[in-house]
Amino acid sequence: MEQEWRGNMIGGFGRKKEMDKIQNNVERQKMKERCEIFSIDITDVEQRLASFGEDGMLVSRFNDDADGYKFKSVRYYDEQGLHLNRFYYAMASLALKDVRNVFEIGTGDALSTVLLSQLFPEARIFTIDLPQGDPRFKRWRTKSAPETMRGKQRQERLRAENIITYEKNTFFLPSLDLPERFDFILVDGAHKYPQLAGDIMFAYNRIVEGGFLFFHDYYEKKASSCHVKQVVDWMAERIPERVFTFPMGTPPKKLEQKMALLVKGLNK
């Protein structure tokens, strides 16, 4: 079964100002008992290679001399609060070495896609979403149609050289011309059964040993519109790996929103 995060994990990286904002926010929002944030020394390569310990800890030291560092543009804090998902991807990018292939299921507005392309500049970022004409793409077709401002921004984000887009229903994933193995996968496409089960089976079976597999929106609530928790729990009962869950939303209102993560080969 899924392993509840015990609050002693969390690393991050960034400049002192940003890290202080996070620390303050965490303390103000009384999230502290659940969340202790350490920051990662982003100027020292050795320090950057944070690794999982006994309790899934990713801990590192802080260094405020971050200017000029290539990941500095990654923001996980803005006026809307914390975006802890970005924080976790950033940590994964620090922990993983020689990443070649990254896969995102569910491009959406390409916000994560562009972030992943920055976090893994040497890798190819594969991302898939429904074809624009697909009736199931309605939300994105209306809100993010190519001629809208949002659509234009989406296109702009997807222009990064290392991003490879697919416009396909993930039902066809096994027959697409994709790499055999991925070092990092983010499952954030359909949130309902049965589509999600197909995505999860594909992702689990194509991640490399030691690779990171994230599941967005592992919710306790909203079960009727979101089956991520049910399907991830179903998977967790069948695999040897531990599944960690982390808060994702802005505290305190959205504290129940979570992400799940497994590291292939990091067993229960």
Ligand X SMILES: C[S@@+](CC[C@H](N)C(=O)[O-])C[C@H]1O[C@@H](n2cnc3c(N)ncnc32)[C@H](O)[C@@H]1O
Beta strands 124-129 and 207-215: pairing type? Answer: unpaired
- Does 190 help bind ligand X (rule: CB under 6 A)? yes
Task: Tell which residue, 164, 196, 188, has the closest CA to residue 178.
Answer: 164
Name residue 241's beta-bridge partners: 267
For the bound state, the minimum distance from the C-beta of residue 166 to ligand X, rounded and expressed in Å, comes to 8
Nearer to ligand X, 5 or 215 (CB): 215
Please identify the residue of the shown chain whose CB is closest to the bound ligand X.
Answer: 108
Restricting to residues 149-188, which ones interact with ligand X according to CB under 6 A? 169-170, 188
Helix and strand element counts for the chain (H, E) = 8, 10
Alpha helical stretches, state H, the chain: 16-28, 45-48, 84-95, 111-119, 138-143, 149-157, 195-206, 228-236
What is the C-alpha separation between 219 and 259, in angstroms, rounded?
8
- Does 112 help bind ligand X (rule: CB under 6 A)? yes
Choose the stretch contacting ligand X; rule: CB under 6 A; options: 19-27, 64-72, 122-130, 235-243.
122-130
* Residue 251: φ, ψ to 5°: -75, 155
Q: What is the dihedral of CA 78, 164, 214, 91, to 10 degrees?
A: -50
For the bound state, the minimum distance from the C-beta of residue 67 to ligand X, rounded and expressed in Å, comes to 27
Nearer to ligand X, 16 or 136 (CB): 136
Nearer to ligand X, 65 or 167 (CB): 167
Indicate the length of the chain as a whole number.
Answer: 268
Q: Which of 108, 121, 179, 210 binds ligand X (CB under 6 A)?
A: 108
Nearer to ligand X, 64 or 109 (CB): 109
CB atoms within 10 A of CB 98: 7
Q: Where are the beta strands (DSSP E) in the chain?
A: 2-4, 77-78, 81-82, 101-105, 124-129, 163-167, 182-187, 207-215, 243-247, 258-263
- Does 106 help bind ligand X (rule: CB under 6 A)? yes
- Does 111 help bind ligand X (rule: CB under 6 A)? yes
Nearer to ligand X, 54 or 147 (CB): 147
Nearer to ligand X, 8 or 165 (CB): 165
Restricting to residues 63-92, which ones interact with ligand X according to CB under 6 A? none
Q: How many residues bind ligand X (CB under 6 A)?
A: 18
**Residues within the interface to ligand X (CB under 6 A):** 104, 106-109, 111-112, 128-130, 137, 140, 169-170, 188-190, 195
